[in-house]
Chains A and B, each alone.
Chain A
Amino acid sequence: MITYALRRLLLLIPTYVGITAVTFGVIHLSPGSPTLFHGSDGGSQEMSEASWKRLESHFGLDRPLHVQYGQWLTRSVRLDFGTSFSDGRAVLQKIAEKLPWTLLLSTISIVGGLLISIPIGIRSAARRGGFFDRISGVLLYAMFSVPSYVVAMLLIVAVVVIPIEAIPISGVRADHFASMTPLEKIGDISRHLLLIAICFTYPSLAFQSRFVRGNMLDVLGQDYIRTARSKGLNERAVIWRHGFGNTLIPMITLLGLLLPTVISGSVILEVMFQIPGIGKLFYDAVLQRDFPTVMGLSSLTAMLVLLATLLADLAYGLADPRVRYDSARA
């Protein structure tokens, strides 16, 4: 187990280098240097001169590409992603400011998603082929084919056309937020986040429910379930304790897979609802050709994805003593 964990940790290094090198290379090898574009991007000559200097000193653009990348890499390990072009602040600080919104939404979506999808999955597995199973199957299947941004558009149209004044469609705070009591503040933020939280939760629902259902069906076909039933245990205990308890292990890997999709899916939704999170920051950075921020966000996301997958894998091993990592897996 420890050897396996160490091996996986070591594998993180080439993977991280690979991802950042590609992003770095793609940005740098593209026709036109970042400085050139930044200068010609409408900003005053003085501004572009200053940013060119900053860029040159930070990245050493006069040196060969691999040297530049090496420098960037050693800095990035210390989480130093340089300063943003657009406002000259540290990239890490900018990210840290925006992260809470995206994390809040991700948490809501993962917890909410599980709370809804686990009962649906278990119910359909328990009465397989029954009315509920068939209806939820068809509905979830259709939902699976509607991307979250389409749902978002339809929700916005519904709120605007009906109209529902109580639900704002953009931003995170009302204008008079500062003068509110703490309780009103919570209410105001939740009203603002209601629609986007639905859209964040929505995409994982279909997949998760089917995932739970599939695993439940596997487990319910096992001998020990028949044993539990034949010794006279009531159906509830069979389903929840013996059945669901044993599907928890695959669920752990699912959580590891969820986080990255939630974060990268956040760009379009956050732009749509004007939420100041990671996705919106990335979008703005791209529009402003803010190279250090783009690079910093890409690398941080990659790191997060890698860590989440690793943790899920390791948790899987801890939770299920039957899983052994000794044999070399390709």
Chain B
Amino acid sequence: MTARGLEHMEIGAGRTWRRFRRRRGGLVGLGVVVILLLTAFFAPLIAGNVPIVCRYQGRWSAPAIVETFRRVPVVGQWISPSKPFGLPSVDAKSHLSQEDVVFWPLIPFGPTETSSDSLRPPSSVHWFGTDRIGRDLASRMVHGTTVSMTVGFVAMGIATLIGLSIGGWAGYAGGWVDALFSRLIEVVTCFPVLFLILSVTVWLEPSIVNVMVIIGLTRWTSIARFTRGEFLRLREQEFVLAARASGAGPFRIAVRHLLPNAIAPALVTITFGVAQAILLEAALSWLGFGVQQPNPSWGNILRSAYVQLRWSPHMVYPPCAAIFLAVLAYNLVGDALRDAIDPRTETRTV
């Protein structure tokens, strides 16, 4: 019984992946998504003013590597910063001399590290130039990636959880439960998300957590609708009857047998949803209600570029390019995924 449920999933996933692999656009998109995720995770190793590995006063340490893992939620709390360079008050550059062995990150500037070189155009030192208070734009872009990816995934994670539960419950139970949840889905679909988020930020401190939660709480409707449809279709099929006949409870049937078969259409929506969440976060940060200075995000970098437009247009391009690339990549993956799951749309271009 369990084997059968898993078998369904294996066959479905394997076939989908084989079809997905044939799509160049999807693979390119997936590649970019992986690069963005790696950048987001290893941001301190790519850009920062703490050395990756160094030998200082006869002791070896790896402050940036420690820092990378300290940023992982939950686990990170138990890791203490690598002394002395992991501490924010210590300026590694002034402490380390020529004789010390040091491996700096690729971009040896911190995202919030200021300098007197303000509003410099791109050069070999500052690849993307610097902003009004002399912060390295390349470093800020790298660390902004972490924000965008986190928002995309956490917000859609919340949305997926709600969407699958409500859609699955409605589709499986049917009757008045279905009617009730269907109305709820209709109501929430009509929510003007941006307006709601802005309304909330009136009375809550603008923070990235609030943004993620609100996007998650409002963007689950299409996931729920697809899941409901799939559950309605699947619950009458023989393998469900077989599971029920062998004594499986409703929860077990829903999770072990229906969910693996119903996840595919939701997955496409989730992929597009991540792109939408990234866009929404950038828009909110641009308006000043998302990530707050000095923390970097693509949206607030774009905002400072807007403010400094007449003097230094160079600041506009990196965030624009990054937003375009990220959204394009997720859209490509979503489209390829949809084609791979539903062979009827095989003939679509791109």
A residues apposed to B, CB below 8 Å: 11, 14-15, 18-19, 22-23, 26-27, 30-32, 34, 37, 129, 133-134, 137-138, 141-142, 144-147, 149-150, 153-154, 156-157, 160-161, 260, 263-265, 267-268, 271-272, 282-283, 286, 289, 291, 294-295, 297-298, 301-302, 305-306, 309, 330
Contacts and interface: CB of A to CB of B under 8 A. Distances in A.
B194 interface: yes
B12 to A, nearest CB: 26
B324 A150 contact: yes
Contacts of A153: 302, 305-306, 316, 320
A238 to B, nearest CB: 21
Contacts of A282: 195, 198
A157 B313 contact: yes
Residue among A133, A150, A157 with the highest chain B CB neighbour number at 10 A: A150
Contacts of A146: 323-324, 327
Residue among A157, A263, A272, A297 with the highest chain B CB neighbour number at 10 A: A157
Per DSSP, chain A at the interface is helix
Given A156-B309, A264-B194, 20 more contacts: A18-B187, A26-B196, A27-B200, A27-B202, A34-B203, A37-B202, A137-B349, A141-B350, A146-B327, A150-B320, A154-B316, A156-B306, A160-B309, A260-B192, A283-B287, A286-B199, A289-B202, A289-B203, A295-B199, A298-B195
A15 B324 contact: no
Nearest to A261: B192
5 contacts: A26-B199, A150-B323, A264-B195, A268-B286, A286-B202
Interface of B: 178-179, 182-184, 186-187, 190-196, 198-204, 275, 279, 282-283, 286-287, 289, 302, 305-306, 309-310, 313, 316, 320, 323-324, 327-328, 331, 349-350
A19 B327 contact: no
Given A268-B283, A294-B202, A142 B328 contact: yes
Contact of A161 (B313, B327, B328): B313
Contact of A149 (B186, B283, B328): B283
A267 B198 contact: yes
B199 A27 contact: yes
A59 B313 CA distance: 48
A297 B195 contact: yes
Contacts of A27: 199-200, 202-203
A15 B186 contact: yes
Nearest to A137: B349
